[in-house]
Amino acid sequence: MPYYPRPSFVLTQNIREKQMMIELLKYIGVGKLYYSRNEINLVVRSLDEITKVILPHFDAFPLLIFP
């Protein structure tokens, strides 16, 4: 049985941040929200959307790392 790679980008937050995640989904325009009891996940599984939307966003706005 062959295996096929399936790329995905997942951002997870506490369910208290539901409204922020809804706004983020509207802002980026790709992906889907998944809910569980205590968390909310923004998931993007399309390689095309990851390479054309998600990665360029992080190129333009790199993550800040604080010591």
Reduce the secondary structure of 24-60 to three states and give it as a string: HHHHHCCCEEEECCCEEEEEECCHHHHHHHHHHHHHH
Residue 47 falls within a domain, yes or no? yes
What is the pLDDT averaged over residues 2-18?
A: 93
Residue 50 — very low, low, confident or very high, per pLDDT cuts 50/70/90? Answer: very high
**Prediction pTM value:** 0.84
Q: Which domain range does residue 25 map to?
A: 9-60
Scan for tokens 């966003």, then name that residue: 57
What is the pLDDT averaged over residues 37-53?
A: 96
Residue 37 falls within a domain, yes or no? yes
The rounded radius of gyration (Å) of the Cα atoms in the chain is: 14
**Calpha distance 14→16 (Å, rounded):** 5
Domain count, the chain: 1
**Calpha distance 67→58 (Å, rounded):** 20
Residue 24 falls within a domain, yes or no? yes
